[in-house]
Each structure stands twice: as C-alpha cells, then as structure tokens.
Structure 1
Amino acid sequence: MQPVWTEDDRLAALRSYRVLDTPSEPTFDDLVQLAARACQAPIALISLIDERRQWFKAEVGLGVRETPLDRSICLSAMLQPRLTIIPSLTKDPRFAHNPLVTGEPHLRFYAGAVLKTPDGVPLGALCVLDCMPRDLTEEQASTLTVLARQVMSQLELRRAIAERDERLEAGQQIEQRQTLLVRELHHRVKNTLATVQALVGATGRSSGSFREFYHSFSNRIVSLAKTHNLLTEDYWQTASLREIALTELKPFAESRQPRFMLIGPSVELSADLAVPVGMALHELTANAVRYGALSVPAGYVQIRWSVGEREGARRLHLEWREFGGPPVNTPRHRGFGSTLLQRVLPMQCQAEVEVQYDREGLQFQMNAPLVEQRLVPAY
C-alpha cells in the first residue's frame, strides 16, 4: 500500500516540530536511557531522518549526534508499519555493507519503533542496537513501542509549548507596536496642531485681506495634509522626499516642456523632518508660481539633494534653484515664506539654511540632520 504522504510532506512535518539541531533535553535523554535499560542494549537512539542525514535528539552509547543517510538503518525501519527487528545485520543484504556494520562500532543487532505524527507521517525511530546478534523478548518489544509513543508525545508537547510561546511573544509585540503607534500619533497630532496655529498667525500677519488670508491658509493646510497622507501610507511613518516634491509640483508634471527636475537618491524622511520640508517646498513652489520661474512658460525649477555624513551623523543636503524666470530682487518685507525658510526650518529641524536672491533665479539650500530613530517597532 502506497503511503498517503510525500517526502516533501514528511520533511515539512519534521521541521514543524522545530527540534532539529536543538540541545539535549533531559526528557528525551531519560527515554533513551529507559529504552537501553529495558532492552538490555548498549546503544539507544532517538533518530530523526532529515533530507541528507539522520540526527539524534538523544543518544546513549554511540557518541555522535548525527550520521549520513548512507549509514542509516532507521531510514528503512521508519517505513515499516510496526516494530522492526533485525537479529543479525551481517545476514541482511540491506545492511551487511553498512559502514557501521563493517567498521566501528561493528553493529550486529537493531530494533526500531517508528516515530509517527498523529497523521501517520514517519519522522524517524526510537531504536536500540547491540554489537552481537540477538533478539528482543515480547516484553522488551512492547516496552520499546510504548517508549516510542512517549517520544512522540514529548515532541507534540514541545511543539505546543513553542507555538504557545510564539503566540504570546507575537501578542506582546502587537501590544508594544500599538502603544508606540499611539505615542507617535499623539506626537504627530500635537506637532500638527502647533504647526496649524503658527500657520494661522503667520498667514494672518502677511495677508492684506481676508480673501488673501483664506486662499493662502487653505493652500498651506492642503500641503500639510498631503505630507501627512504620505506619512500615514507608510508603516514606518516616513515619506519619500521625491514623493513630497512631486506632490507640490504635480500641476507641472504633464507640461509638454519640462518645468522641473528632481535629482537625488531615494531618501525617506521621518515625520519631524518631512513636515517642515514639505512646507518649505510648498512655499518655494507657491513663490515660484507667483513671482519666479514657474510664473513664465520658459522657466523651470531644479531640486537636487544628497545624503552625507558629518561628525558621525547622516545629513540631508537639499538645493532649490530656479532658471528662466523674471529677474529676481531681494524682497523689502519678510513674508511667511521667507520666515519659514530662514527661521522656522532652523528651529524645527536644526537646519542650516541659505537663501540667495540671485538675479538669474532664486536659490535655496538646506542642510539638516536626518532623524534616524523611529518610534514604531519592526514587524
């Protein structure tokens, strides 16, 4: 009768017990001692058949923890439905030339009880061996079979405990992750409310009318929301610098004539840096649309960034340059955009900022430390 399992099924079942290559455990050591004593045999093994070897969860009398499959007697024994007894290995053509029979330790006798899962899949055998031909009494054979069932019971118990511990650990990780995500949410909400409050005050001071205030404030809130949307989409609560820039410059993305260039490596910004950088790019874009390179058909913007290291810390270097726009003059009054670039960025993210009102086009440079620490834990 053909077995109802495949070798892949058998190996998967064996690995599900997560027992291979584990240290010795008293429970299994006691069982091989009992088997050896009950059968009056010098050698006893709990043998598990892997893909290329037989590995012994416990052994007495042999002195090794594994042997190649070409030396395995248990490989044949585990395929038998009942106890396998070979009184003389030298007279059995299957094993007469086995290196453990022809050489040390010159095995002559083997008896093995198959180790089966509850589904009937064989994993190996509990076996006893001797260096002289012999047999087992009926009582010894019965004892060996009972002990084999005890081995499987212990393997099942061991697996159940390991799975329980994994579930507990997973539950603790989920709880920790939720706690940290809530902390991150509180942090983000607090910072966002502070940013909105600052936007209201600064926009109000720089606006000449309520209509102008409403238009400027609404656009800044929309920009802030877009950056937060990018952060929320990512588990790590980071946003791609390229995506932040594309979000602001999206109206110019489908122009027949290129209106902007984004040059730089893939960089993920944490919330504490993504929000002020997003606002800065919004102000630069809005200024370019009203007064700068994006206010005329031939003008374009170049955003270039890189990541370097200073004093052991990684830093982001960002440049905004405008080309082909109207002649630039230094503004007489500092509006919200200028305040954000020259005062808020250094305060919020310790950025070094430089703004040049070059007649050929506005130039902005920012050098800021990257925030490497994330509140949220790994999956």
Structure 2
Amino acid sequence: MPGMHAISTQRSDFQGLDMKAQVHPLQEARLAALHDYGILDSDFEDDFDAIVDLAAAICETEISVVNFIDAERQWFKAEVGLGVRETPLETSICSHAILESEFVEIEDTLQDSRMKDNPLCTSDPGLRFYAGALLKTPNGLPLGTLCVLDPNPRSLTDLQRKTLRVLARQVMALLETRRAFAMGEVFRREADHRIKNSLQSLMSFVRVQSRRIGTDTSAETVLSGVNARIQAMMKVHEQIYAEDGSGWVDLRDTVAPICDGLSQMAPGGIRLVTVLAAPRVQAKVAVAVGTFVSEFVTNSFKHAFPGRDSGEIRVEIAEDISEEGARILLRCSDDGVGLPPDASPSTGLGSNLMDLLASELGTEIVRDTTGPGVAVTLTFNSRGS
C-alpha cells in the first residue's frame, strides 16, 4: 500500500546525525537467533499482516509494524501506513526500544532525548507517538518489536498496552511455527534421501545374493520378489524427495516409474498397461499405493500366467469428484488363470501385505475373482487413513 508518511530508506540521508542506538550488549547472539528464524526478506504473509492491521485498529494509530533489527537495518515483516520494507538503523526508534525491557511507550517523541532530533519525528507530519512490545526469543533475546506509531502525541490505555503485548507473543508464536515447519521439512528430505540410499544398498545386496543361489528356483523367486518390492519403494521415495516439500505428491508421477520398472521385469509376452489419472495425495498415500501396485503386479507375474506366453496386467487410477468430495479409485487386474475354486482370496504373504496397505489408506480391498483373471479395487481419499 502507499505509505502515509515519507520515510527515507537511504542511509546517506542521515550522515552526520548522531541518533543511532547503541549496539545491544548481546548483539552477536541476538543476530544469530534472528537469522536462525529465516524470517528476513521473506514475502508478506497473511497471518503477520492481520496482526498489524489489528494492532493499528485497537490502538487507533495510523501506523503499525512488525519489525526486526538486523545488523545495519530494520526490516519490516508486516506494516500498515508506511509502504516500505526496510529503513536504516540511523533513524530507527525500535533499535532503541530493544535495549529496554518488555514494553516501550513514548507519548511525545520530541520530548524524548533520543528522538528529539530524529528527522522522522521532526518532519511534518512526523512520528510523534511510539509504543512497542518487544519480540523476544524463549531465552529472552530481543529480535525487534511489534509497534504502533502516530503523528499525534498521545498515550495508550491499559487495554491497548495489554493487547499489544498479547499480539507480540502471537508474532513470536508464528515465528516458532515457521521455523518448526522449515526444520521438519529439512529432516523429512534428509530422511527420504537416506531411505533411498539404504534401499539402493539393499537392492544391490539382493542382486548379489540372487547370483549366488544358482539353481535354487524357490529362493531365486523370493529374492526376485524382494528386489521388485525394494525397487518400487525406492521409486516412491525418489519421487517424494524431488517434490516441493509441501508433503503432497502427484500420484501418477509416483506410480508411473514404478510400473515402468516392473514392465522391464515382466515375463516374455506379458504386458503391463497403465491408465493413470494424476490426483495430488499425501506422501504416505503415494508410498502405500506404490507398494500395493508393486505387490499385485509381482504376484501376477509369478502366478497368473502358468504355461502361457501372453497376457495383460492393468493398473488404473481414476479420480471421482462428487458432492461428498474427491475419491481416488485404484484398480489392478490381470487376465490370467484366476484363483483356484477352493482358494481363499486373502491367503498368502502378498495378500496380507496388500490388506495392510489398504488399511493404511483407510479402506478395504474389493476383490473380483469371477474372471477372467483377478481384479482388486481400492477407493480412498488423498490423505489416507
């Protein structure tokens, strides 16, 4: 918004004037804490904007600012009534305020020895009234202030002072939340990266063991299945690691490379066909779906086409949007021999794992064994269980 006051942002405008506050006695620790929050030079955010709007309205002032005192500037995370993002420390009232205790109120800046020659206060209209609640870290280091300013000398009521203090604590709560989220994303990405590396190492180990077992067909089958499962999980984490850090991923971008990898392992004459919509889902949903698809396809490779040199496996993802909300449908099917008449559809390690994955998605498997082949369907939402 355009500023209500002509605020100079040029340090050269104040050369020769002795108005700059003393350096804070814990300046090094204070600046380290400020930079650790990662707030400087960030974009406007609605939550901070709402606080300065509320502070100005309740305190009945033209100007309100959330500001942070850096080494050579004061920077505004949110402001109403100024129209600038930073100013030099030479004329900063708040750089004096952070040397005080919890709250600073100057009823008339021209009657204050620190401000009486400050051109921001002596100009017409100048900043004649100031009140600021300090923004302090949990261990008491002042980062800046939530302040209100006005061109007319005045004083706040007890309620206005209390409100300014409460809103300052809210600013710090927002800072802590931002930092916790940012650190959580760093840890999440590091965890995904380490998981991917671990899966790569495990897959290499399985390949070595596969070469050593020679003619033991049953062991070779088990290791082949394990290898496929690891490869699928690695693809999932590869996609998640490359995402934007929001915790949401494109399900098609996750499942498609898994299916590509499985296609390369298909027995001769067996085709893997995919028809994939691209809903956005939580990362945990993508992991569960990717593993489910890998399990079904691997089982079909092993059991659906005995003695056959052709066949088709399909993996389909669709999104159904209705008044009740968006639902995602996953259907995996093959045109193989199907299950024996006396077989339970939910027996075996693979089926148990698939049931567990369905539970993680907050749903149950709908099995169709009427033929030809086998089909399973899951219906779930983007957040899972």
TM-score for both structures, normalised by structure 2: 0.46
Q: Work out which of the two has the higher radius of gyration on C-alpha atoms and give 1 or 2.
A: 1
Normalised to the residue count of structure 1, the TM-score between the two structures is 0.47
